[in-house]
C-alpha cells in the first residue's frame, strides 16, 4: 500500500499544504518545533481517525480556526482511492471515494499504518492503558468487527458503571442482569479477538527478536486477563463487591500485556536497550501481521526514532522496511542516518512551510 499524496487544511500549524510522496522513502528534516511530527500525525490520523499522541481532538485543529481536513490518495492493488477526513466541533466526517461513511468503524482499515514514536518506549514500562490502546489500534486496523465489538463493550461498561454509581442503594438485580448480559456478550468477543491477536503477535515478534539479538534472546508475550475463563460467572461472583465499590472490577478493560526475555520480565528487569529492541520487534511484527491479514504492507511512520537506535538497529529497521513498506521518517539531522538508500525524497520543514530538496 502506498500513500501518493496528502493535503492538509488547518491541521496543527499547516494552513494549507499539499505534498506528493516518494513511493519508498520520505524524510522530513528540520529543527525542533517546526512541524515534522505534525506531518506523521496527520497521516496516522487519516488512517485511524485519531492522533497517536493526544486524545484531545481539538488540539489537531489549527489555532483560531473551526475545522481541519486531511485528504489523501492511497494506492493498493493497482487502484487509487481518495480518502478524506474532516474534524470539527461536532466530530469526524469520513469519506472514501468521495462517499460519506456513516460509521467510523467502516472507514478505519482503508489505510494501514505502523507508527514508531518516542512515546512507544512507554509501551513496556508505562501504564496498562497504553498496552490496551496498542492492541486496540493494531487489531482495529485489521479486524473491523473488533472495533465494533469493543465500542459496544465500552458502551455497556459505561452504562453498568453509571448504574452502579447512581443506584448503589437500591440496585435492581434483574436490571443489572440485563446490563451484565451485554457486557459479557461483547466482552467475550473482545477477549477472544485479543487472545488470538496476542498469540500471533507473540510468535512473529519472537522470531524477529531472535534475529535482532543474534539468537540470544527469547521474547515471549503474555496476555494477562482479569477474567479467568467464565466472564458471566465471575462477574456474578463479584457483584456484591462491584456494588460496594460502585465499579466493574473485571473485564477486558482491565487487560494487560507482559513481555519476557528468556523468562525475565522486561518491564522490571530489562535494560533500556532491551526495552527498545523489544519495542522494535513488536513494531516489525505488526508490519508482518498486517501484511498477513490484508496482503498489503502498511505504511511505516518513524518519528525521531533513528537517533534512539544504534547503527546496527538502524540498519535492521531500514533493511526490513525499505522495499517492502513506504516509509516516512522525521529527523533534526541527517548526520546519524548512515544507511539510507539513494532513492528517496527529502522535505525540509520550517515553521509550517515545507520545501522539497531533491529527487
Ligand X SMILES: Nc1ncnc2c1ncn2[C@@H]1O[C@H](COP(=O)(O)OP(=O)(O)OP(=O)(O)O)[C@@H](O)[C@H]1O
Residues that bind ligand X (CB under 6 A): 12-13, 30, 32-38, 59, 61-63, 304, 330, 332, 349
Measured distance CA(196)–CA(314) in Å, rounded:
30
Shortest distance, CB of residue 119 to Mg ion, whole angstroms?
Answer: 11
Name the minimum Å distance from CB 263 to ligand X.
Answer: 37
Indicate the residue among 119 and 203 with the shorter CB distance to Mg ion.
119
How many residues are listed for the chain in this entry? 359
Helix (H) or strand (E) holding 180: helix 173-212
Query: Three cell numbers at 156?
Result: 455497556
Query: What's the N-to-C CA distance of the chain in angstroms?
Result: 21
Name which of 147 and 306 has its Cβ closer to ligand X.
Answer: 306
| Cα torsion angle, 291, 311, 268, 208, sign | positive
Query: Least separation, in Å, of the C-beta of 149 and ligand X?
Result: 33
Query: Considering only residues 37, 49, 248, 320, which one is a binding residue for Mg ion as defined by CB under 5 A?
Result: 37
CB of residue 315 vs Mg ion: minimum separation in angstroms?
Answer: 23
- C-alpha to C-alpha distances, 182 to 139, 158, 278, nearest whole angstrom: 22, 11, 36
* Cα separation, 120 vs 101, whole angstroms: 30
Which own/partner contact pairs does 240-247 have at CB distance under 8 Å and 24+ positions apart? 242/164, 243/164, 243/168, 243/171, 244/168, 246/161, 246/164, 246/165, 246/168, 247/161, 247/164, 247/165
In angstroms, what is the minimal distance from the CB of 85 to ligand X? 16
42 binds Mg ion (CB under 5 A): no
Q: Which residues pair with 73 in a beta bridge?
A: 5, 82
* Residue nearest Mg ion by beta-carbon distance: 37
The CA-based diameter of the chain, rounded to the nearest angstrom, is 71
Pick what 332 binds: Mg ion, ligand X, none; C-beta below 5 to 8 Å, kind-dependent: ligand X
DSSP H/E element including 88 = strand 79-88
Q: Shortest distance, CB of residue 47 to ligand X, whole angstroms?
A: 17
**Among residues 35 and 109, whose Cβ is nearest to ligand X?**
35
Q: Which of residues 308-337 bind Mg ion (CB under 5 A)?
A: none
Which residue, 49 or 331, has its beta carbon nearer to ligand X?
Answer: 331
Q: How far apart are CA 87 and CA 60, in angstroms?
A: 9
The whole-angstrom separation of Cα 78 and Cα 177 is: 51
In the complex, minimum distance from the CB of residue 226 to Mg ion, in angstroms, rounded to a whole number: 36
Is the CB of 29 or the CB of 278 nearer to ligand X?
29
Q: Which is nearer to ligand X, 15 or 172 (CB)?
A: 15
* Binding-site string for Mg ion from residue 172 to residue 211, where x marks contact by CB under 5 A and - marks none: ----------------------------------------
Which one of 36-44, 92-100, 221-229, 237-245 is the stretch in contact with Mg ion (CB under 5 A)? 36-44
Interhelix angle 173-212/311-321, nearest 10 degrees = 110
Of the two residues 37 and 248, which places its CB atom closer to Mg ion in the complex? Answer: 37
30 binds, among ligand X, Mg ion, none (CB under 5 to 8 A by kind): ligand X
> Which residues of the chain form contacts with Mg ion (CB under 5 A)?
37
Amino acid at each position: 500500500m502506498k500513500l501518493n499524496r496528502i493535503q492538509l487544511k488547518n491541521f496543527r500549524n499547516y494552513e494549507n499544504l499539499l505534498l506528493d510522496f516518494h513511493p519508498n522513502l520520505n524524510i522530513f528534516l528540520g529543527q525542533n518545533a517546526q512541524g515534522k511530527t505534525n506531518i506523521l500525525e496527520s497521516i496516522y490520523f487519516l488512517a485511524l481517525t485519531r492522533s497517536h499522541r493526544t486524545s484531545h481532538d481539538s488540539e489537531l485543529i489549527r489555532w483560531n480556526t473551526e475545522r481541519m481536513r486531511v485528504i489523501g490518495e492511497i494506492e493498493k492493488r493497482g487502484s487509487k482511492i481518495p480518502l478524506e477526513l474532516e474534524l470539527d466541533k461536532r466530530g469526524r466526517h469520513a469519506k472514501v471515494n468521495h462517499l460519506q461513511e456513516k460509521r467510523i468503524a467502516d472507514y478505519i482499515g482503508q489505510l494501514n499504518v505502523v507508527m514508531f514514536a518516542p512515546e512507544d518506549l512507554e509501551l513496556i514500562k508505562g501504564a496498562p492503558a497504553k498496552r490496551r490502546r496498542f492492541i486496540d489500534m493494531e487489531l482495529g486496523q485489521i479486524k473491523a468487527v473488533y472495533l465494533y465489538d469493543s465500542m459496544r463493550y465500552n458502551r455497556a461498561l459505561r452504562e453498568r458503571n453509571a448504574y452502579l454509581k447512581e443506584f448503589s442503594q437500591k440496585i435492581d438485580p434483574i436490571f443489572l442482569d440485563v446490563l451484565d448480559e451485554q457486557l459479557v456478550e461483547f466482552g467475550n468477543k473482545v477477549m477472544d479477538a485479543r487472545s488470538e491477536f496476542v498469540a500471533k503477535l507473540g510468535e512473529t515478534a519472537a522470531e524477529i527478536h531472535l534475529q535482532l539479538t543474534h539468537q540470544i534472546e527469547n521474547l515471549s508475550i503474555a496476555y494477562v486477563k482479569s477474567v479467568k475463563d467464565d466472564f458471566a460467572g465471575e462477574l456474578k461472583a463479584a457483584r456484591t463487591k462491584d456494588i460496594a465499590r460502585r465499579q466493574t472490577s473485571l473485564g477486558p478493560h482491565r487487560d494487560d500485556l507482559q513481555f519476557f526475555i528468556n523468562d525475565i520480565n522486561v518491564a522490571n528487569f530489562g535494560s533500556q536497550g532491551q526495552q527498545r529492541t523489544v519495542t522494535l520487534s513488536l513494531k516489525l511484527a505488526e508490519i508482518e501481521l498486517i501484511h498477513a491479514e490484508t496482503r498489503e504492507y502498511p505504511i511505516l511512520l518513524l518519528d525521531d526514532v533513528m537517533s534512539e537506535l544504534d547503527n546496527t538497529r538502524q540498519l535492521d529497521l531500514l533493511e526490513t522496511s525499505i522495499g517492502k513498506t513506504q516509509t516516512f521518517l522525521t529527523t533534526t539531522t541527517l548526520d546519524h542516518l548512515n544507511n539510507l538508500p539513494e532513492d528517496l525524497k527529502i522535505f525540509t520543514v520550517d515553521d509550517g512551510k515545507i520545501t522539497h530538496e531533491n529527487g
